[in-house]
Amino acid sequence: MMLAVLAKLPIISWPAILPETIFIGGALLLLAVSALSNKKLSSGFCAVYTILISVAALGSSMYLWDKLSSHSSYVAMSSSIAVDGFGVFVAILVCSITVLIALAGEGFFRDSWGSLEFFVLIMLSSSGAILMAMANDLIVVFLGLEIMSISLYVMTAMDPSRTSSGEAAIKYFLLGGFSSAIFIYGIALIYGSTGSTNLANIATFLADNVLVQNGVLLCGIAFLIVGFAFKVALVPFHMWTPDVYQGAPTPATSFMAALAKAGGFAAFLRVFFSTFGTLRSDWRPIIWVLAVLTLLIGVLLALVQQNIKRMLAYSSISHAGFVLLGLQAASAIGVAGSLYYLFTYSFLVIGSFTVVMLVAGEKDTNHSLDSYKGLARRRPWLAGVFTLLLLAQAGVPFTTGFMAKLYVLSALISAHGYALAVIAMIGAAIAVFFYLRVVVLMYSPAPGFAANDETGAALDTDTGIGESIEVGDEAATIQSSGMSLTRSTALVLAITVGITVAFGINPAPLIEFARHATLLFH
Amino acid sequence: MSIPGSWYLTLAALLFSIGVVGILVRRNVLIMFMCIELMLNAANLTLVTYARMLNDIGGQVLVFFVLVVAAAEVVVGLGVIVSIFRRAKSTTADDLHILKG
Amino acid sequence: MIPALHSYGTVLHGMIFGLHGIVFGTTLPTLPDSVTFFIAAVIVLVGGIGVVVSRNPVHSALWLVACLFGIAVMFLLQDASFLAAVQIIVYAGAIVVLFLFVIMLLGVDRPESIGSDPLKAQRPLAILFGLGVLGGSLLLGFTAKWESGAKSQAGRAVGGSTNEVQKLGKAVFSIYLLPFEATAALLTIAVVGAVLLTMHANRTTENSKPYEDPKPYEDPVPDGYRSRQGLVANADEEVDLVDKELDVK
């Protein structure tokens, strides 16, 4: 009897779930160590530990990738997870994001309260994103989504010194919970109309049967689109994005901007391109409308922002529109283009938010565009790096941003999406304006800057809240000096700039990587 | 002959739309949160009904996972609410006015 | 049972399901099932509407309990007795209690004015949206097929020799093993998050700090003082308000 029950347990394929297991195990171990040790663990230790865990997960993903190049892709764990090039590509991306955020977080938290939990949460959140990317079952997608999002809610609320942090968390949480409920209702309807939540089974069912009355299935698909659109911030489901990006602590913002897009789009692409591929004539019009709105409204609203984090939030919305173009193309090359875009975007956005974090200062409050006035004179290196990253986001040649836009657009044109391609190019052209606006501000001489700052400092001393940060040599450095560049943040900037430039000049290896990822699509 | 599944499914759809309207209409954070629970329960009822109609235990297992997710969301969500509104008398979303939008 | 009442019930029952039989061409459900269904359906809907329209969050929470109870009855009617028990224990026993606890802790059990709404267009739009969902679902229920003839993947729900709990357990630990393990991560996040956030609340409202705060925050707030305007804009304003309060005294 006992043996009979045991015999039915599924074969656990450890290599297939190794990246997630390493992240979850690493987070639990860190929690246990901190609970057992008498001293408070320093944030440097936590960061190094997180980086080691992420590198181990990266290594296991690389191992999977290596094995995939000789073997074919397969499903594991009772077919609830798919080990294919697509999933492993995103897993590699997620591990790299975690390494960079751990470095940036070390520079930000510097032993402040809650630093340990930040590192635990980024590891757990990453495991959720990998689960989403490799999921072969809608319920695994849902659980991965929740693991990722719930940690992001907590990370948004982490900063106790600013009320806006908690406020952003409430907004994020309510809209996130709303979208999760819509998502699970969509899963329930799809389950009812196809008889399974397993992506492979659904695809087989849809290929073998023609549903005469498929209203329930289409309702379910529509609900899934709404759920995904909330998570990856597509217009008109983007309302939370600027507020949450502004309110969250800056390292959490950059983590959310990179990870939620990577994980969300990975599941979005897999579910729609591979599972509902046979119904593409039904969902492509909806994606078309979403893409047009996202591309245009994202850039138009970015133009009028006065806060750098809100501006970058709208810019990330317009990037999401570009990633969506690959799905709209609904071809293997389109999906490869989306993957390539996600990869380059993640590094660009982490680099940009790290600069924002350094300019914002210890209290993470200096986010108005005015604080970028004359940055080139005060901190020429930082301004140079930011200029490069912004130009790459705008899509200037010899950066990864240019190749990414070119790639998705060419995929779209080969799928005859001419109108949308034109709209996307108009959006990209408008986007150049607001990126250049920041660059021009940084290189402008900033007259009367010191006077402004002194009044700001005076106000702060009145209320007794502001501590004078550091009395620099010049008056202008009183408030705007921001955080000094530490080794870890410098490393983040070096890596992001290096990747942006290296793959911008020689894009072939990365394009080959992304193409290979979709060739191995299950 | 038991009750036809479509009756349960229509009821679940009604409950789901009540939850959606509640979130859009109400401004009290706690009540908006309860409306999310209503929507999740509508999904649960749909899943159990389909499990019976398809004669597949899988639908019932999914309800478990939804329950776990609901519990985790409640814990974190109420934690955020407590940490913000500890000193405020009301919990309406309109009091959240620092961030525009 | 009184014969007259019984026959009256049968007639009513026949009228309701006769209509249904004409539309769907199916046989009648049994009387106890349909009576239970309708009572539970009324409880679910009234409870759901009660959550939305109550002015007091406490009343909303109580309506939520009623609604969840109705759902549990629906589960029982569909041979999901274990889930019905779990529904009562987890939702009514844990989640709603947590809601009530937070309401009482925050002291927000005060009626809220529903009348004022900053966005004028929002309410009609929301109700329009709700009616749209309602119409769509009714259209689906009466014209399209809700279900399709897919084959079971995870084992049969009804019938067979083993009982329901055993079948659920087998499915969880075979086909759904990975999602089951993933919920462990979810619960860990919930614990870490709850501890982190509520300790924040302690650290920002009370001045007793176990160790030095790296981010100096704000002046202590006098006991019992609560801001009248809800959440105040920032620490500066808060301090100003406290000063004024003290001046008045």
Do the domain assignments include residue C195? yes
Rounded to an integer, what distance in angstroms lies between the CA atom of residue A350 and that of residue C222?
42
Q: Is the Cα dihedral A493, A495, A497, A500 positive or negative?
A: negative
Residue A366's pLDDT is what?
82
Determine whether the interchain pair A184/B58 forms a contact, defined as Cβ–Cβ distance below 8 Å.
no
Do C232 and C167 belong together in one domain?
no
The range of the structural domain enclosing residue C206 comes to 163-217
Residue A195 touches partner B, C-beta closer than 8 Å: yes
Residue C71 touches partner B, C-beta closer than 8 Å: yes
Residue B82's pLDDT is what?
87
Lowest mean pLDDT among A102-106, A514-518, C202-206: C202-206
Q: Over the stretch C82-98, which tens digit does the pLDDT of each residue have?
A: 999 999 999 888 899 99
Looking at every residue in chain C, the average pLDDT score rounds to 70
Do C41 and C105 belong together in one domain?
yes
Read off the pLDDT of each residue in A308-324 and give the average, rounded to a whole number. Answer: 95
Q: Which of residues 11-40 of C touch A (CB under 8 A)?
A: none
CATH 3.30.70.20 fits B5-87, yes or no: no
Q: Where are the alpha helices (DSSP H) in A361-447?
A: 375-378, 380-394, 400-414, 418-443
Residue A156's pLDDT is what?
93
Contacts with C60 from chain B: Cβ below 8 Å: 30-31, 34
Per-residue pLDDT at B93 exceeds 70: no
Give the start-to-end residue ranges of the domains of chain A: 15-452+481-519
Q: What is the tally of structural domains in chain C?
A: 3
Lowest mean pLDDT among A82-91, A175-184, C2-11: C2-11
CB atoms within 10 A of CB A365: 14
Q: How deeply is A156 buried, as exposed, middle or buried, from its count of CB atoms within 10 A (0-12, 13-18, 19+)?
A: buried
Residue A469's pLDDT is what?
38
Do C1 and C78 belong together in one domain?
yes
Do C186 and C249 belong together in one domain?
no
Read off the pLDDT of each residue in A330-359 and give the average, rounded to a whole number. Answer: 93
Residue C229's pLDDT is what?
36
Do C233 and C187 belong together in one domain?
no
Determine whether the interchain pair C99/B74 forms a contact, defined as Cβ–Cβ distance below 8 Å.
yes
Do the domain assignments include residue C209? yes
Per-residue pLDDT at C222 exceeds 70: no
Determine whether the interchain pair B53/C147 forms a contact, defined as Cβ–Cβ distance below 8 Å.
yes
Determine whether the interchain pair A189/B33 forms a contact, defined as Cβ–Cβ distance below 8 Å.
no
Per-residue pLDDT at B94 exceeds 90: no
CATH number for the domain harbouring residue C46: 1.20.120.1200
Contacts with C143 from chain A: Cβ below 8 Å: 213, 215
Is the CB of residue A492 less than 8 Å from the CB of residue A102? no
Is the CB of residue A234 less than 8 Å from the CB of residue A317? yes
Do the domain assignments include residue C179? yes
Residue C146's pLDDT is what?
60
Q: pLDDT category, C209, cuts 50, 70, 90? A: very low
Do C99 and C181 belong together in one domain?
no
Per-residue pLDDT at A329 exceeds 50: yes
Lowest mean pLDDT among A23-37, A505-519, B11-25: A505-519
- Tokens 């080959």 belong to residue: A512
Per-residue pLDDT at A460 exceeds 60: no
Residue C143's pLDDT is what?
60
Higher pLDDT, A302 or A110: A302
Read off the pLDDT of each residue in C16-43 and give the average, rounded to a whole number. Answer: 72
Residue C27's pLDDT is what?
57
ipTM over 0.90: yes
CA distances from B94 to A86, B27, C22, C232 (A): 43, 7, 50, 12
Rounded to an integer, what distance in angstroms lies between the CA atom of residue B48 and that of residue A490?
54
Do C102 and C2 belong together in one domain?
yes
Cis ω on the peptide bond leading into residue A236 (within 30° of 0)? yes
Closest-CA distance, B47 to chain C, in angstroms, reads 10
- Tell me how many residue pairs between chain A and chain C have CB atoms under 8 A apart: 151
Question: Cα torsion at A335, A337, A339, A343 (round to 10°)?
Answer: -170
Contacts with C137 from chain B: Cβ below 8 Å: 9-10, 13-14, 16-17
Do C247 and C209 belong together in one domain?
no
Residue A27's pLDDT is what?
96
Rounded to an integer, what distance in angstroms lies between the CA atom of residue A222 and that of residue A187?
10
Do C34 and C82 belong together in one domain?
yes
Higher pLDDT, A318 or C156: A318
Read off the pLDDT of each residue in A211-236 and give the average, rounded to a whole number. Answer: 89
Residue B35 touches partner C, C-beta closer than 8 Å: yes
**Which residue, of C82, C110, C138, is where some domain finishes?**
C110
Q: Which contacts qualify for A28-33: CB closer than 8 Å, 24 or more apart?
A: A28/C188, A30/A116, A30/A119, A30/A120, A30/A123, A31/A120, A31/C188, A31/C192
Q: Over the stretch A501-517, which tens digit does the pLDDT of each residue have?
A: 999 999 888 888 888 88
Closest-CA distance, C100 to chain B, in angstroms, reads 10
Do the domain assignments include residue C125? no
Lowest mean pLDDT among A93-107, A404-418, C219-233: C219-233
Q: Which of residues 25-84 of B touch A (CB under 8 A)?
A: 29, 32-33, 36, 39-40, 42-43, 46-47, 49-50, 53-54, 56, 58-59, 62, 65-66, 69, 72-73, 76-77, 79-81, 83-84
B73, B74, B78, B87: best to mutate for the A interface, most A CBs within 10 A: B73
Per-residue pLDDT at A434 exceeds 70: yes
Residue C120's pLDDT is what?
56
Read off the pLDDT of each residue in C123-148 and give the average, rounded to a whole number. Answer: 70
Determine whether the interchain pair B46/A185 forms a contact, defined as Cβ–Cβ distance below 8 Å.
yes
Do C177 and C96 belong together in one domain?
no
Read off the pLDDT of each residue in A291-303 and give the average, rounded to a whole number. Answer: 94
Read off the pLDDT of each residue in A228-234 and give the average, rounded to a whole number. Answer: 94
Residue A326's pLDDT is what?
93
Residue A211's pLDDT is what?
74
Q: Which of residues 157-176 of C touch B (CB under 8 A)?
A: 157-159, 167-168, 171-172, 175-176
Do C104 and C8 belong together in one domain?
yes
Say which amino acid occupies B48. Answer: V
Q: pLDDT category, A43, cuts 50, 70, 90? A: confident
Looking at every residue in chain A, the average pLDDT score rounds to 87
Task: Determine what percent of chain B is predicted with pLDDT higher than 90.
Answer: 50
Residue A481's pLDDT is what?
62
Do C176 and C228 belong together in one domain?
no
Task: Name, in order, each residue with C-beta under 8 angstroms of A202's C-beta and a sequence gap of 6 or more.
Answer: A138, A190, A194, A196, A275, A276
Residue A318's pLDDT is what?
95
Do the domain assignments include residue C66? yes
Do the domain assignments include residue C145? no
Per-residue pLDDT at A84 exceeds 80: yes
Higher pLDDT, C22 or A297: A297
Do the domain assignments include residue C31? yes
- Tokens 């084959």 belong to residue: C151
